[in-house]
Structure 1
Amino acid sequence: MKSIAVFCGSSAGASNVYIEHAIRFGKELAKRDLTLVYGGASVGVMGAVADAVLEEGGQVIGIMPGFLEQREISHKGLSRLIVVDSMHERKATMAELADGFVALPGGPGTLEEFFEIFTWAQLGLHQKPCGLLNINHYFDPLVELFNHMTKEQFLHEKYLSMAIVEMEPNRLLEQFASYEPPTVKTYLKENQT
């Protein structure tokens, strides 16, 4: 594993704990010599994780659509900034460059990015780990929803385990290092051809 894509907010959140833990996560990435691939902003949780990786001497690749370059205030100190045409291209580029995916706290855009990549894993489009860094129990309601989806048989139990949920960066990345993807979903029965 050489790089981790991080989906997270361009806002700082209601508590300093989000920024503090984003910094811890960034430092852990750099310590493990993992390149950060992220949305390219210099503000909020996004900026904090990127700054932490850079301050520890790590590599950071930002991917940002041109229309957001000014609005999200693109980070000027990155190892590399890739400006793309659309949000779709941003996600596709992040998926191509990353060996794993982690969501830190953020809003609907963060969840949309995470769910798309999680769905791609279910469909077998990639075999890379997907995780939630559950800072300040932020993702507890989402974990509850995953459990409800499983109980109601809209999410198979083997796919529930694909969402690796941890509160500590080192534990999350340890699980990434030993990740084994489940078999790909199929609707065919054993005797069908």
Structure 2
Amino acid sequence: MRICVYAGSSMGARPEYRAAAAELGALLAEEGIGLVYGGGNIGLMGVAADAALAKGGEVIGVITEQLHGHKLSHTGLTRLEVVPTMHDRKAMMAELSDGFVALPGGIGTFEELFEAWTWAQLGIHPKPVALLNAAGFYDKLAEFLDQVVAERFLKSIHRSTLVIDANPRALLKALRDNPVPYAPKWLDKVADEAAVEAAVEVPGK
């Protein structure tokens, strides 16, 4: 089993972020689970990789030629794949992995997270997706996703497939124990039209 870890190329503002990355990396190695990530030697991604390597774990990095040329590649990995584009990078990371965990990070981390989650929603893969909510980093995102459900742009069953936990061990257990349910993404057309008609006042009626 391998888990793909998305994480910031920065350490962030709080020491809890670094601690969470290190704990997750070490835990994956201790559980015999390989770590797949973006191949960098910086930020939280580098911390997670180093922690897994220190425990004797398998760590596979996938990095673009551009970033590799900037000397950002981790040189001590079990395996490093250098690919032409970001699209190739994300596709290979997904192919190599059995699940996905996002640590705190920036727009690159968010983009990777939502793509993996979207693929699960569409039935492209059955792999679980999770947020490691270190120091409450993802609290407001969780609240916003609940609002998206309330506004009927996201089904509650799809919202429930995104595992969110601040504890790396509990998060990993949830990823391993809870299968991802598949439900068609498209909202029922009749129910949707009825809801719109009830919400909109039609002139003359």
SS state of the match for residue 63, structure 1?
strand
One-letter code of the match for 1:67?
Answer: Q
Partner Cα separation in structure 2 for residue 154 and residue 167 of structure 1: 26
Contact 2:61 2:79 in 1 (8 A): yes
Matched residue, 2:121: 122
SS state of the match for residue 80, structure 2?
strand
Where in structure 2 are the equivalents of 1:1-193 lying within 5 Å? Answer: 2-71=1-70, 73-187=72-186
One-letter code of the match for 2:167?
Answer: E
Inter-CA distance 124–72: structure 2 relative to 1 (3 Å threshold):
farther
Partner Cα separation in structure 2 for residue 52 and residue 186 of structure 1: 38
Partner Cα separation in structure 2 for residue 10 and residue 58 of structure 1: 21
One-letter code of the match for 2:60?
Answer: I
SS state of the match for residue 143, structure 2?
helix
Contact 2:121 2:185 in 1 (8 A): no
Inter-CA distance 68–95: structure 2 relative to 1 (3 Å threshold):
same
More helix by share: 2
One-letter code of the match for 2:49?
Answer: A
Deviations 1:36-84 (A, max 9, x none): 0000001110000000000000000000001011447110000000000
Partner Cα separation in structure 1 for residue 149 and residue 131 of structure 2: 18
Inter-CA distance 14–70: structure 2 relative to 1 (3 Å threshold):
farther
One-letter code of the match for 1:88?
Answer: H
Sequence identity of aligned pairs in percent?
Answer: 46
One-letter code of the match for 2:11?
Answer: A
Contact 1:12 1:44 in 2 (8 A): yes
One-letter code of the match for 2:96?
Answer: L
Contact 2:157 2:183 in 1 (8 A): no
Inter-CA distance 17–120: structure 2 relative to 1 (3 Å threshold):
same
CA apart distance, 1:189: 6.0
CA apart distance, 1:186: 4.8
Number of equivalent positions: 189
Runs of 4+ in 1 over 4 A off after TM superposition: none
CA apart distance, 1:187: 3.6
Inter-CA distance 149–56: structure 2 relative to 1 (3 Å threshold):
same
Farther-moved stretch of structure 1 (180-189 vs 147-156): 180-189
Contact 2:149 2:156 in 1 (8 A): yes
Question: What TM-score does the superposition give when structure 1 sets the normalisation length?
Answer: 0.94
Question: What TM-score does the superposition give when structure 2 sets the normalisation length?
Answer: 0.89
Contact 1:40 1:74 in 2 (8 A): yes
